[in-house]
Amino acid sequence: MISENSYARRCWAEIDLDALGRNFRALRAFLRPETAALAVVKADAYGHGDQQIGRALEEIGVDWFGVACLDEALSLRRAGCRKPILVFGYTPPELAGLLIEHDLTQTMYSAEYAEAMQGAGKRLQVHVKLDTGMRRIGFRCEEEADLAAVEAVYRDFTVTGIFSHFSCADELSPDSLAFTAGQYAKFAVACDYLQARGHDPGLRHCSASSALILHEDWQLDMVRMGIALVGIAPSPEIGTHIRLEPVLTWRARVVMVKDLEIGEAVSYGRAFRAEKRMRVATIPAGYADGYARAFTNKGHMLLHGRPVPVLGRVCMDYCVVDVTDVPEAKMGDAVTLAGQDGSEEITFDALAALSGTISHDRVCAISPRVPRAYFRGGGLVEVRDYLTAR
């Protein structure tokens, strides 16, 4: 019933659920047996499709899910995911009932927020968030006086965990390494203090992808795996010693092939001019699909296993590539925007570097106009088309 026609029409993403499974097992094997694995599937599982990725991970033994907000948690529940879900961010106090009804765990991050959520009381399961240096959300924990507010949370709510987040765990300079170690130490001291005061801290967790790869001894009771699960290194600095495979391949169809005469310009602003006769192909992928305008005259795609450079401005719906060296290029061919084609590969790290950002940003930017097709054992098993599903 589902065929290539249901997704490979224009610009699409192919998601290899087997690769996801291999990444999960590779990361899992790196954890001590008693350390639980929380899969971070916020931002539509980093653009990979939260419901499909959530179900696949639940099947292969993930222990927890983490999301940024209530709606993401509800989306997972609608997909049938039953594992505990931690909401990292603010949920409006008026909606505390939804957290309880759907058995979600809320992050409790300030005295003011705890006060506002007071009405839910012990029916609400929470993880305490400590601010050890990120200065985003979380209870300060440097002084004993700061921890009085945290003790109140243990008294007033059902606390099943406590966590913190590192601000530069993906940087390897001595200064950053020292800062991260300082964050870890503050977290550990605060947990010990709470325990000594008779509170069961619950699941203690502080490592996301970078720290779990770099600092085996900080795994504690749980780690939060995000970008590494989808097979992307947390930062170019971390040449990971765990084998990770990219899960998502991004492709589009060639819609037109044509010749350019000397002096002719391509796309808006005539930002590229042909200095020789060239053959070019028009690709229906633009910044509205998540193919950044910053790739103007910089990026390249892969066609028949060869690199084809982007010429001129990337438009909202199109860009143009140079196929002079790919004489067999024709309408309907599949071109690879990110991923592998033959022996060539374009990584999200490379795309991020071209556009002055990080791979997380590039992969999350793949827009809802791009249908996601899911594969297992090389076969198509599901398609998520955000536009027709509305």
Ligand X SMILES: *Cc1c(COP(=O)(O)O)cnc(C)c1O
For residues 49 and 42, is the Cβ–Cβ distance under 8 A? no
The minimum distance between CB 212 and ligand X, in angstroms, equals: 8
* Interacting residue ranges for ligand X, rule: CB under 6 A: 40, 42, 88, 165, 208-210, 224-228, 234
Pairing of strands 248-253, 272-273: unpaired
Query: Strand, helix or coil at 141?
Result: coil
SS3 content of the chain, % helix, strand, coil (to 5): 35, 25, 40
Identified catalytic residue from 83, 90, 193, 268: 268
The minimum distance between CB 237 and ligand X, in angstroms, equals: 13
DSSP state string for 215-283: -GGG-TTEEEE-TTTTT--SSTT---SS-----EEEEEE--EEEEE-TT-EESGGG-EE-SS-EEEEEE
For residues 153 and 159, is the Cβ–Cβ distance under 8 A? yes
Query: Among residues 184, 204, 182, which one has the least CA distance to residue 194?
Result: 204
Annotated active-site residue 268? The verdict is yes
Retrieve residue 34's tokens.
Answer: 């008693």
By C-beta, is 219 or 282 nearer to ligand X? 219
Identified catalytic residue from 7, 42, 129, 154: 42
By C-beta, is 6 or 110 nearer to ligand X? 110
The minimum distance between CB 253 and ligand X, in angstroms, equals: 31
Query: Among residues 90, 75, 81, 85, which one has the least CA distance to residue 43?
Result: 75
By C-beta, is 251 or 360 nearer to ligand X? 360
By C-beta, is 272 or 348 nearer to ligand X? 348
Long-range pairs for 19-22: beta carbons < 8 A, 24 or more residues apart: 19/231, 19/245, 19/246, 19/247, 20/48, 20/53, 20/56, 20/57, 20/229, 20/230, 20/231, 20/247, 21/56, 21/60, 22/245
By C-beta, is 238 or 292 nearer to ligand X? 238
The minimum distance between CB 210 and ligand X, in angstroms, equals: 6
The minimum distance between CB 198 and ligand X, in angstroms, equals: 27
The minimum distance between CB 45 and ligand X, in angstroms, equals: 11
By C-beta, is 153 or 225 nearer to ligand X? 225
Query: Strand, helix or coil at 350?
Result: helix
Query: Among residues 221, 189, 227, which one has the least CA distance to residue 206?
Result: 221
By C-beta, is 52 or 240 nearer to ligand X? 240
Taking CA atoms, 366 is separated from 285, 311, 312, 320, 361, in Å, by 10, 21, 21, 19, 9
* Residue in the block written with tokens 């300060």: 140
The minimum distance between CB 26 and ligand X, in angstroms, equals: 14
Retrieve residue 176's tokens.
Answer: 């950053």
Q: Which sequence positions are flagged as catalytic? A: 42, 268
